[in-house]
Amino acid sequence: MNTGMRLMEMKNNKFFGRFYGILLLLLLAFFFWGIFKILSPDNFGTPEKMYYYLQSSIIYSVGACGFYFIVVMGLFDFSIGANVVLSAIVGVTMAKQFGYVGLLVGAMSCGLLIGFCNGILYAKLRIPSMIVTVGLMLVFESLAYFASGGQKQSLDSSLQFFGKAPGNMILALIAFLLTFFILKYTKVGTYCYAIGSDEYVAKNMGINVNRYKILGFVLLHFFVGIMAILSVSFGTSMTATTGMASMSRNFTPLMGTFFGLAFRKYGTPVPAMIIGEFIISIIFNGFIALGAPTTIQNVVTGAALLTIVALTTRPAKGVVVK
């Protein structure tokens, strides 16, 4: 029996079928780990380094959870990176006065406020979310620059509990459980899927589409506020950027969201986003271990992502793919 037949048998098994998506992703993680371990046995894949890859990947996993709420509705947001920078700077500034309370409340409140502004402006202006959020990205970048005075903002060494285990793991786990709960047990999760499936049908069913889109932006940026706490704690400082430089922070969490969308048919979007980001971290660090140029890293990483999503997302024959 070949590997494909074994996977199909596992998929149809009553017990293992429930975990098929997770097992498939773990196999992919092991596959990429094996490739880079063979190519660079001394510089890649030791238990200590794998633990480091995991800790860096959970930062993006939290952002991916937030992204999921709007991407599943067919929306997009380019201001994620600017929010990470601005929320981190606000959190660090407030932490100097109020300690951990200032860091948590400052970053998450800033994220919530940005999400509300994005959602309201998107709903009122009635123009595509990508255009609205590109404009707002420039505004948030400038606000972060003014708030920091153009200087690097460093988090005090006594306030870096969320920069390493167990602090980062605890905060990330709370974010993952909250995402799982909202998606599985609340109207918000159900309506996000309904709007993404067919917005006009959802509206005719009595769903206030605009309200839930605004709520989707609020949830997205709340989780990005948590991502900002993890980022500045992990890196110990944050520097404001301008000229759309923050945009590069958008794409790694978005890649994790793609894994969640591709594997939601197995009922496992949150674990898929976590393991997906771990796979991306393995690939990035594998190329670093090989000393490959950044351009080659980007080409192969993008190709690997497209391949994985294409193989796991097979629309029915005749279905229009938008």
Instruction: Supply the pTM of this predicted model.
Output: 0.88
Neighbouring residues of 285: CB distance < 8 A, sequence distance ≥ 6: 36, 44, 49, 53
Output the tens digit of pLDDT for each of the chain's 322 residues: 566 666 666 666 656 666 788 888 899 899 999 999 999 888 888 999 999 999 889 999 999 999 999 999 989 888 999 999 999 999 999 999 999 999 999 999 999 999 999 999 999 888 888 888 989 999 999 999 998 888 888 998 888 899 888 999 999 999 999 999 999 999 999 999 999 888 889 888 888 999 999 999 999 999 999 999 999 999 888 988 888 888 888 888 888 998 898 888 887 889 999 999 999 899 888 888 888 777 776 777 677 667 766 665 555 555 444 4
Neighbouring residues of 280: CB distance < 8 A, sequence distance ≥ 6: 57, 60, 252, 255, 256, 301, 305
Closest CA to 238 of 144, 163, 168, 165: 144
* CB-CB contact of 79 with 114 (8 Å): yes
E strand intervals along the chain? 153-154, 237-238
pLDDT at 321: 47
Residue whose pair of structure tokens reads 């860096």 in the numeric block: 56
DSSP for 78-128, written as a single string: S-HHHHHHHHHHHHHHHHHHHHHHHHHHHHHHHHHHHHHHHHHHHHHH-S-
Please, what's the b/e burial string for 75-92 (b: 16 or more CB within 10 A of its CB; e: otherwise)? bbbbbbbbbbbbbbbbbb
Report the alpha-carbon distance of residue 226 to residue 168 in Å, rounded: 10
Residue whose pair of structure tokens reads 């109020």 in the numeric block: 98
pLDDT at 322: 45
Report the alpha-carbon distance of residue 152 to residue 16 in Å, rounded: 50
Report the alpha-carbon distance of residue 118 to residue 133 in Å, rounded: 7
Phi, psi dihedral angles at 242 (to 5 degrees): -135, 175
* CB-CB contact of 278 with 54 (8 Å): yes
Residue whose pair of structure tokens reads 């959802």 in the numeric block: 202
